[in-house]
Chains A and B, each alone.
Chain A
């Protein structure tokens, strides 16, 4: 998934040459690329802008219009550096607004994917560029797209094209064969139009074949757009229509960021964070400017941690991903012959019931097996939790026909207790217990309350002293006798149910 951060200005202080910018203070270890919001505040000539992965020999810089703003994404080095280019130090601003993790890959040098045919929709297939990966979204950089630009998932019947900027970023979903469709206007003989593939995503992105219209109908201020689908963290928003240079803005709902300025002509792709209600705010100057959701970012499962092979901790994964989500730690339990005798995992997820500790018997997959008989331990089911064990003695004889011994357990609630009496050498019987001999009968019972366990012994009178040794087991499990249980979901309730 894309992870968004508080927008941070990383504009280089030097213009006219590529500058390496260290952004390790803003994005975590493990980031593979960054999302940029590029904005020229206008008023100064020489507005060339460039962005490339650190270590790349790419050299694409091109002028953008004064007042224009748009989004782009580019790879970073393992130590989180990117190369940026600005034509002057007065008007351009480059903000880092988010980053990608292992779900995205970026090329050191971008791949030219410019279609041979211009002025019509053309299929772009990136399957030959992704190796063994299967990409779900492509990340592009466009040059001289001011003569016409459009991009959509392969198979879409959408048909929105329009002039865009001299230098733009774009992102779009791919079909199962790693294809999208692009439209590039023919700038011949004035300029050379180019579309470069800079990277791709393999997870954490859901694309719409037909983009969802989330346009707003009023101008003048920021308005909530329709919420993104469930689970969305942010969206890829196509801005289309209106007049060249119409102002527009996209931002996370509720934030104070106020970049509301010109559209690069009439077509741009925004990469924007949503709030927890999945809402992005939009602002337009012309009601002909529309917004369409090409796709949205969703959480991706972090990598499994093999306890035997890695010292990585669950906390590290959470820190890397930025949010608490599904984390799995696997472990193999080996016997002395190094044979797996059990498989276990610890799972954590912020949703109810989806966390716990499980151990399966050998050969069963602890991550997928749903047959409880295949489990050695499964914390989703109640278990007895040991508290203390010990013994008491109760003595009866010819004059003492009943006796009591008391254990003050100090738990403050009624615990689950089990007890056995030794009714012969090495032989233990479960309480309550009844015994008999030639001349008398006897029994032992016990009761439990929130303070004490009371053990009782009674007989019809023994001829001589008899000592009963009772072994007790106290568990932490609280016994509840005064709750009404909801029939529907098994939760406790104060109301009653009539059956």
Chain B
């Protein structure tokens, strides 16, 4: 999944769904580049031969597994401006 968020608020503006993102997806953008940043998470094959999000932080790893099953739930999150991580909105 690629997540686009506002640089100054962390609000998620849009997404590109999927597990593998090549140039065609990486050249796509939501919102203006001057105000919007992005997080790109591809899935890779692990030692067991199955695929998982290519992200080491365990909590974030688990969030992206959930987002893979329910992409719309990404709007339950915002992006931490310092950490760059997803956190649940309350």
Q: Which residues of A are interface residues toward B (Cβ below 8 A)?
A: 387-393, 405-410, 422, 467, 469, 471
Instruction: Provide the residues of chain B in CB contact with A408, threshold 8 Å.
Output: 28-30
Q: Which residues of A contact B28 (CB under 8 A)?
A: 388, 407-410
Q: Tell me the residues in window 11-67 of chain B with beta carbons closer than 8 Å to chain A beta carbons.
A: 12-18, 24-25, 27-32
Tell me which residues across on chain B come within 8 A of A406, comparing CB atoms.
30-32
Known: A406-B32, A467-B75, A471-B72. A391 touches B15 (CB 8 A): yes
Q: Say whether, besides A408-B28, A471-B72, A389 and B16 are in contact (CB < 8 Å).
A: yes
Whether A391 touches B72, Cβ cut-off 8 Å, given contacts A405-B14, A407-B14, is yes
Determine if A469 and B24 form an interchain contact, defined as CB atoms under 8 angstroms apart: no
Knowing A389-B18, A391-B74, A471-B72, say if A410 contacts B27 (CB, 8 Å): yes
- B74 with A388: CB separation less than 8 A: no
B2 / chain A contacts, CB cutoff of 8 Å: 390
22 contacts between A and B (CB under 8 A): A388-B18, A388-B25, A388-B28, A389-B17, A390-B15, A391-B14, A391-B15, A391-B71, A391-B74, A392-B13, A392-B14, A393-B12, A393-B13, A405-B30, A405-B31, A406-B30, A406-B31, A407-B14, A408-B28, A408-B30, A410-B28, A410-B29
How many angstroms between the C-alpha atoms of A471 and B29 in the bound complex? Answer: 15
Complex alpha-carbon distance, A409 and B72, angstroms: 20
When the two chains form their complex, are residues A390 and B16 in contact, meaning their CB atoms are under 8 A apart? yes
- Bound together, the chains give a CA A469 to CA B16 distance in angstroms of 13
Cβ A407 vs Cβ B30 within 8 A: yes
Question: Interface residue count for B (Cβ, 8 Å)?
Answer: 20
Residues in chain B near residue A388, CB distance under 8 A: 16-18, 24-25, 28
Contact A390 B13 (CB under 8 A): no
Please, which residues of chain B bring their CB within 8 A of the CB of A469? 72, 75
Contact between A391 and B32, CB atoms less than 8 A apart: no
- In the assembled complex, the CB of A328 is this many whole angstroms from the nearest CB of chain B, namely 33
Q: A68 to chain B: closest CB distance in Å?
A: 68
Say yes or no: A390 contacts B30, CB within 8 Å: yes
Chain B CB within 10 Å — which of A387, A388, A409, A467 has the most? Answer: A388
A388 to B18: give the CA distance in the assembly, Å: 8
Minimum distance in angstroms from B43 CB to a CB of chain A? 16
Report how far A405 CA is from B13 CA in the complex, Å. Answer: 8
- Complexed CA–CA distance, A128 and B11 (Å): 86
Q: Shortest Cβ distance from B47 into chain A, in angstroms? A: 29
Most buried by A among B28, B72, B75: B28
Q: Give the residues in chain A near B15, CB-CB below 8 Å.
A: 390-392
Q: Chain B contacts of A389 at CB under 8 A?
A: 16-18
CA distance A406 to B29 in the complex (A): 8
Flag if A410 contacts B30 (CB, 8 Å): no
Q: How far is the CB of B70 from chain A (nearest CB, A)?
A: 11
CB distance from B6 to the nearest CB of A (A): 11
**Which chain A positions have C-beta within 8 A of B29?**
407-408, 410
B residues in contact with A407, CB < 8 Å: 14, 28-30
A393 touches B27 (CB 8 A): no
A391 to B28 Cα, complex, angstroms: 13
- Cα-based distance from A400 to B51 in the complex (angstroms): 42
Q: Given A387-B24, A405-B14, A407-B14, check contact A392 B72 (CB 8 Å).
A: no
A393-B13, A469-B72 are known; give 4 further A-B pairs, CB within 8 A.
A392-B14, A405-B13, A405-B14, A408-B30
Query: What B residues does A391 contact at CB under 8 A?
Result: 14-15, 17, 71-72, 74-75
Chain A residues with CB below 8 A from B25, complex form:
388
Q: Is the CB of A392 within 8 A of B18?
A: no
For the complex, give the distance between the alpha carbons of A128 and B65 in Å.
72
